[in-house]
Amino acid sequence: KYNFSGVLLATAIHEGLIKPQQIKNYLLSSLRVIK
């Protein structure tokens, strides 16, 4: 199985739709949700 959100994230990065800072913020917020 593919990680669907991961695929979307990778696609967005590849297309230049998401900036590294936004990715960092997204990952940090995801970690907060998990804890």
Could you tell me the residue ranges of all domains in the chain?
Answer: 4-34
Rounded to the nearest integer, the mean pLDDT of the chain is: 76
Q: What CA–CA distance (Å, rounded) separates 35 from 21?
A: 22
The model's pTM is: 0.37
CB 21 within 8 A of CB 27: no
Run of H or E including 28: helix 20-34
Question: What is the per-residue pLDDT for 18?
Answer: 66
To the nearest whole percent, how much of the chain has pLDDT over 70? 80
pLDDT at 2: 63
d(CA 23, CA 16): 12
Which pLDDT score is estimated for 15? 80
Task: With a cut of 70, say whether residue 35 has pLDDT above it.
Answer: no
Q: For residue 10, what are the CA distances in angstroms to 16, 25, 26, 31, 35? A: 10, 15, 13, 18, 24
Residue 13 scores a pLDDT above 80: no
